[in-house]
Amino acid sequence: MFARTAKIAAALIGITTALALLSVAQTVAWATYQGRHLPWGDVIIGRLFDWYTCLIFLPFLYWLVRRLQSLGASWPRTISTLLLASILVSVAKYAIFLPLQQWTTGNDTTTLAGILSGNVIIELMIFWAAIAIMYGFEYYRQFKERERVQLQLERRISEMQLEALRAQLHPHFLFNTLNAIATVLHRDPARADKAIVNLAELLRAVMEQRDREEIPLDAELDLAKRYLDIMSLRSGESMSVSWSIAPEARDAAVPYFILQPLLENALEHGFAGQPDDGHLDVSARVQNDVLQLVVEDDGAGLGAATADGIGLSATSQRLSELYGKSGRLSLENGSNGGSRVIVEIPLRRSSAAA
Q: Do 189 and 108 belong to one domain?
A: no
Domain boundary among 150, 177, 206: 150
Q: Would you say 140 and 134 are in contact if contact means Cβ atoms under 8 Å apart?
A: no
Q: Based on the domain organization, do 220 and 117 belong to the same domain? A: no
- Domain check: are 133 and 256 in the same one? no
Query: Does residue 124 sit in the same domain as residue 199?
Result: no
**Total of domains in the chain:** 2
Give the C-alpha separation, 340 to 343, whole Å. Answer: 10
Please report the sign of the dihedral spanned by the C-alpha atoms of residue 246, residue 250, residue 252, residue 258.
positive
Across 6-10, 57-61, 169-173, least confident range: 169-173
- Mark whether 139 and 234 lie in a shared domain: no
Residue 216 CB: number of other CB atoms within 10 A? Answer: 19
In-domain check, residue 335? yes
CB 94 within 8 A of CB 116: yes
Same domain, 144 and 213: no
Q: Is residue 179 part of a domain?
A: no
Task: Return the minimum-mean-pLDDT range out of 79-88, 151-160, 314-323.
Answer: 151-160
Q: What distance in Å separates the CA atoms of residue 78 and residue 73, rounded to the nearest whole number?
A: 6
> What value does the mean pLDDT take over residues 338-343?
90
pLDDT tens digit sequence for 217-262: 998 998 888 888 877 765 555 578 899 999 999 999 998 889 988 8
Given a cut of 80, whether residue 207 has pLDDT beyond it is no
Q: Looking at the structure, tell me whether residues 305 and 217 fall in a common domain.
A: yes
Mean pLDDT of the chain: 77
**φ/ψ (deg, to 5) at 138:** -65, -40
Q: Which of 243, 256, 327, 334 is nearest to 283 (CA)?
A: 243
Tell me, what amino acid is at 224? A
122 is in which domain, residue-wise?
2-150
* Residue 169 within a domain: no
- 17 vs 155: CA distance, rounded Å: 44
pLDDT value at position 349? 87
Letter string b/e over residues 322-338, b meaning 16 or more CB atoms within 10 A of that residue's CB:
beeeebebebeebeeeb
Are 280 and 331 within one domain?
yes
Separation of alpha carbons 143 and 151, rounded Å: 12
Together in a domain, 189 and 240 = yes
Identify whether residues 142 and 290 lie together within a single domain.
Answer: no
Specify if 172 maps to a domain: no
Residue that finishes a domain, picked among 92, 123, 150? 150
Residue 67: C-alpha distances to residues 64, 72, 90, 141, 348 (Å) = 5, 9, 20, 15, 48
pTM of the model: 0.53
Confidence tier at 126 by pLDDT (50, 70, 90): confident
Residue 322's domain is classified under what CATH number?
Answer: 3.30.565.10
* % of the chain at pLDDT higher than 90: 13
pLDDT at residue 188 tops 90 = no
Q: Is 125 helix (H, G, I), strand (E, B) or coil?
A: helix
Distance CA 318, CA 33 (A): 75
- Cross-strand pairs, 214: 255
Are 129 and 202 found together in one domain?
A: no
Instruction: Measure the CA–CA gap between 349 and 288, rounded to whole angstroms.
Output: 14
User: What are 188-191's contacts with CB under 8 Å, separation 24+?
Assistant: 191/233
User: For residue range 10-35, what is the model confidence (pLDDT) as tens digits?
Assistant: 776 777 777 766 776 776 676 676 66
In a domain, 244, yes or no: yes
Whether residue 300 is contained in a domain is answered as yes
pLDDT tens string 94-123: 777 677 666 665 666 566 666 666 667 777
Distance CA 285, CA 138 (A): 51
pLDDT of residue 94: 72
